[in-house]
């Protein structure tokens, strides 16, 4: 049995919906155990025991969310040199762009020497005012479908030994 770890943070629900959709897609693969953890709950042992990863973050002020950064800070050195070559993908929920948060996740994962197996999936909510930014998010079915497909693809690759 292989394990896919999905670590996420979400303040307004958008990133949580994306991570949940990826987990649902991955759960269709019976040979893969899916673990969906909120970033503050994820520990170095969770990272070390997983065979692949999906990291899901909102983009806050053109950066990875603070609690996702905290997750990486707390787990980085414990996993460094021990998870090389494992596959990962990233999900970013952004107001307008998302590319900088995706780039930050990719740089961290490059340091871990993980293998990016899918282009970072960015969903833009177009929230631009303080009220819209802080409002609960509803991610559309098409975008959730893309997240589900990414989870399914990563799980299938793990199950088949491609990753």
**pLDDT tens string for the chain (163 positions)?**
999 999 999 999 999 999 999 999 999 999 999 999 999 999 999 999 999 999 999 999 999 999 999 999 999 999 999 999 999 999 999 999 999 999 999 999 999 999 999 999 999 999 999 999 999 999 999 999 999 999 999 999 999 999 9
Calpha distance 76→35 (Å, rounded): 19
Q: What does the DSSP 8-state code read for residue 11?
A: S
Calpha distance 15→108 (Å, rounded): 19
Taking the CA of residue 18 as centre, how many other CA atoms within 13 Å lie in the half-sphere pointing to its CB?
Answer: 32
pLDDT, residue 37, reads 98
pLDDT, residue 136, reads 96
pTM of the full structure = 0.98
pLDDT, residue 89, reads 98
* Helices and strands (H and E) in the chain: how many: 6, 7
Pick the CATH number of 2-160 from 3.50.50.60, 3.40.50.360, 3.20.20.140, 1.10.1060.10: 3.40.50.360
pLDDT, residue 9, reads 98
pLDDT, residue 126, reads 94
pLDDT, residue 158, reads 98
pLDDT, residue 81, reads 97
53 bridge partner residues: 5, 88
For residues 60-86, b (16+ Cβ closer than 10 Å) or e, as one string?
beeebbebbbebbeebeeebeeebeeb
Q: With residue 89 as reference, give the H or E element that holds it.
A: strand 87-94
């Amino acid at each position: 049995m292989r394990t896919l770890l999905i670590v996420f943070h979400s303040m307004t629900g958008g990133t949580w919906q994306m991570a949940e959709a990826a987990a649902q897609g991955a759960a269709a693969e019976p040979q893969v155990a899916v673990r969906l953890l909120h970033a503050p709950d994820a520990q170095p042992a969770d990272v070390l025991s997983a065979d692949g990863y999906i990291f899901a973050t909102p983009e806050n002020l053109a950066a990875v969310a603070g609690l996702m950064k905290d997750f990486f800070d707390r787990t980085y050195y414990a996993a460094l040199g021990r998870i090389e070559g494992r596959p990962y993908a990233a999900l970013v929920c952004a107001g307008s762009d998302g590319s900088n948060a995706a780039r930050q996740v990719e740089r961290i994962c490059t340091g871990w020497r993980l293998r990016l197996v899918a282009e970072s999936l960015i969903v833009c909510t177009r929230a631009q005012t303080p009220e819209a930014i802080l409002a609960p998010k509803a991610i559309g079915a098409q975008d959730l479908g893309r997240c589900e497909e990414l989870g399914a693809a990563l799980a299938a690759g793990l199950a088949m030994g491609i990753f």
